Amino acid sequence: MNKKKNVLLIADSEKTSHKMLSLFLDEAEFKLVDCTTGKQAVQLCVSIRPDLVLLDPDLPDMTGAELIRTLREWTEVPIIIISADTDNASVISCLNEGASDYVFKPFHADVLKARINAALRSAAVQETGEPELVNGPLRMDLVRHEVFLNDDLLSFTPKEYNLLRYFIIHRGKMLPHREILKEVWGDAHAEDTQYLRVFVGQIREKIEKDPSAPTIIITEPSIGYRMEIAEISSLHEQGVLKVPANHNQP
């Protein structure tokens, strides 16, 4: 399944740490990006916008606290300190600057993964108010980047996922083409309405009973799109949902 993975930026001057983390962390769930300096970490946070940063504060060009202070000027990305230094002063300074958590080296794989998932979930809640987005039969797990329709897992590409996420966050609101394109693709694609039309069509193929007559993502002619606020019961009455006989409706 080509699903969106959580991107983890590893800022650590020790190459052995990068190798260890690549063994610990499931490549089906995480995409790992490596760097060895604070300057590189800042540049990568700007360019790839990782979902979480794993930071060893002992970097060659700046302290961990300095890096976190720089990042916190414009991003709230979760940052977990991974340090072999048992001197708590360094860890405390990083936490005071805005780090989310810390794990001492050598770390246990299950402990590290639990801390990562907790930080990702906390970040999702901070952004949207909850770790999941739900609109009728649709459910998005913002931590695992998974999409469900009637509890069936759907295959979504990363860009399809980002677009559907934007629609659900703004469900019930008319969204102009330019606004969607700028928020999901960036300013460079603000005029690519045909590009947007293609991706909306791909999403409709996955979530609509009849993609040619959509009832979930509605076209506002010459303006944009609107995701209707859905009720499971009402969609079932319209024949949109194929609900198993033992499905428990809320």
The last residue of one of the domains, among 91, 107, 128, is: 128
CB atoms within 10 A of CB 233: 13
The last residue of one of the domains, among 61, 94, 128, is: 128
Using 50, 70 and 90 to split pLDDT, how confident is the model at 235?
very low
Contact (CB, 8 A) for 180 and 155: no
Residues 16-24 have a mean pLDDT of 86
Examine the domain organization and report whether 231 and 145 are in the same domain: yes
Give the C-alpha separation, 147 to 4, whole Å: 10
Count of structural domains, the chain? 2
Examine the domain organization and report whether 118 and 193 are in the same domain: no
Using 50, 70 and 90 to split pLDDT, how confident is the model at 2?
low
Q: Do the domain assignments include residue 246?
A: no
Distances (CA, A) of 75 to 79, 119, 142: 11, 15, 18
Examine the domain organization and report whether 161 and 108 are in the same domain: no
Question: Could you please report the per-residue DSSP string of 174-239?
Answer: EEEHHHHHHHHT-GGGTT-HHHHHHHHHHHHHHH-SSTTS-SSEEEETTTEEEEPPP-HHHHHHTT
The answer to whether the Cα torsion of 54, 77, 32, 36 is positive or negative is negative
Contact (CB, 8 A) for 217 and 167: yes
Distances (CA, A) of 140 to 13, 63, 80, 144, 164: 36, 37, 25, 9, 9
Residue 147, pLDDT above cutoff 90: yes
Determine the structural domain holding residue 233 and report its residue range.
Answer: 132-237
Query: What pLDDT is attached to residue 44?
Result: 95
Examine the domain organization and report whether 115 and 164 are in the same domain: no
Residue 9, pLDDT above cutoff 90: yes
Query: What pLDDT is attached to residue 87?
Result: 67
Examine the domain organization and report whether 193 and 82 are in the same domain: no
Sheet (strand 174-176) strand order: 174-176, 224-227, 217-220
Query: What pLDDT is attached to residue 86?
Result: 66
Examine the domain organization and report whether 22 and 101 are in the same domain: yes
Query: What pLDDT is attached to residue 128?
Result: 67
Examine the domain organization and report whether 228 and 182 are in the same domain: yes
- Report the relative pairing of strands 217-220 and 224-227 from DSSP bridges: antiparallel
Query: What pLDDT is attached to residue 145?
Result: 87
Examine the domain organization and report whether 147 and 108 are in the same domain: no
Examine the domain organization and report whether 38 and 107 are in the same domain: yes
The last residue of one of the domains, among 97, 128, 159, is: 128
Using 50, 70 and 90 to split pLDDT, how confident is the model at 221?
confident
Residue 118, pLDDT above cutoff 80: yes
Give the C-alpha separation, 184 to 182, whole Å: 6
CATH of residue 11: 3.40.50.2300
Residues 217-242 have a mean pLDDT of 67
Residue 20, pLDDT above cutoff 70: yes
- Predicted model pTM: 0.65
Residues 192-201 have a mean pLDDT of 91
Q: What is the pLDDT of residues 36-76, one digit of tens each?
A: 999 999 999 999 889 999 999 989 999 999 999 999 998 88
